[in-house]
Structure 1
């Protein structure tokens, strides 16, 4: 590589990165002096403001120091490897910026309200009444109710699983609901 006298050649750049892998601070200082301004200018050309470009440059240089042992000169030159790190850092920053911030007032992010003691007692009583009403149903209707509401199967899936015609499944479920309605108060359903 030819260039101005202060421009190191490819072998020197590779040696500096190898020095960083061995935690050679002098090699890192040379690498930093050479690449930091170039990385910052590169990031600014990618529509990054000056402060963000400065921060990302620091992050890139820190990544180089920490990950220098991953550099393989057979796969890419030191410049290519370093600018790829900078490019990836910029992409990561753009992705983070594109994500919407979480709204702390979002109902799904709020803790669930504690159940009032009287509501819990009523729910327990209602559950006991429903259990008793289920005991009064014929076994085949209870099986179909469990498949539909506890296992979440559709009428068609229940018919296939139980080997029954679809109309039979529907009529048994309807009969079960009618019997449950007759045995429970309107508040229980």
Structure 2
């Protein structure tokens, strides 16, 4: 096998130095079907595998002078080139599949300054209203709305009965609604 490895490296050297078509033909005939099979094992369809294997061989022709027999075998070098071509093709296809007009890819419209100010005022009023709640109600509201826990998860975490959790949260909302309505904030 070592002699075959040296023979392939000699063929690449002939391509690099003399643009030897016969040497290229021998390498092409030997490696192209192997590269195609390798690419198919990696998940490429037969047509893509054939195209990518040919691209790898064209790279061999163009960049034969870059091959270094002390760093790898010709086969290892070609398999690496083929694998990289496959990765590049996959990236191109994935990027091409994105529709630049897709609404999700469009920047959102800037928020209206009045809406930003109104939202901040609303947040400030809610913060003030929360501050007047008893600590046990504040904690349950925090767990429900800031941590996103369900009533049963809160009951489990806090050790309180489920009915107590529900009634405290309901009472907290009643107090918050009243405080916010007194401040003229009806959206809650």
TM over 0.5: yes
- Tell me if structure 2 keeps the 8 A contact 1:159–1:169: yes
Distance 1:63 1:158 in 2: 67
Q: Which residue number in structure 2 is paired with residue 10 of structure 1? A: 4
Q: Which residue number in structure 2 is paired with residue 26 of structure 1? A: 17
Picking from 162, 169, 179, the partner of 2:165 is 169
Deviations 1:146-186 (A, max 9, x none): 11111222222222221211221122111112222222246
Q: Which residue number in structure 2 is paired with residue 71 of structure 1? A: 72
Matched, 1:135 2:136: no
The TM-score, its normalising length taken from structure 1, stands at 0.64
- Structure number having the greater helix percentage: 2
The TM-score, its normalising length taken from structure 2, stands at 0.64
Q: Secondary structure at the match of 1:104?
A: coil
Deviations 1:8-48 (A, max 9, x none): x614335438969xxx94399686564357666876x9324
Q: Please report how far the alpha carbon of residue 119 of structure 1 lies from its aligned counterpart in structure 2 after TM superposition.
A: 1.0
> Which structure 2 segments of 5+ residues have no match?
37-44
Matched, 1:188 2:187: yes
- Tell me if structure 2 keeps the 8 A contact 1:56–1:89: no
> Which structure 1 segments of 5+ residues have no match?
2-8, 73-77
Q: Secondary structure at the match of 2:47?
A: coil
Q: Secondary structure at the match of 2:148?
A: coil
Aligned length: 172
Range moving further from structure 2, 56-65 or 136-145: 56-65
Q: Please report how far the alpha carbon of residue 121 of structure 1 lies from its aligned counterpart in structure 2 after TM superposition.
A: 1.2
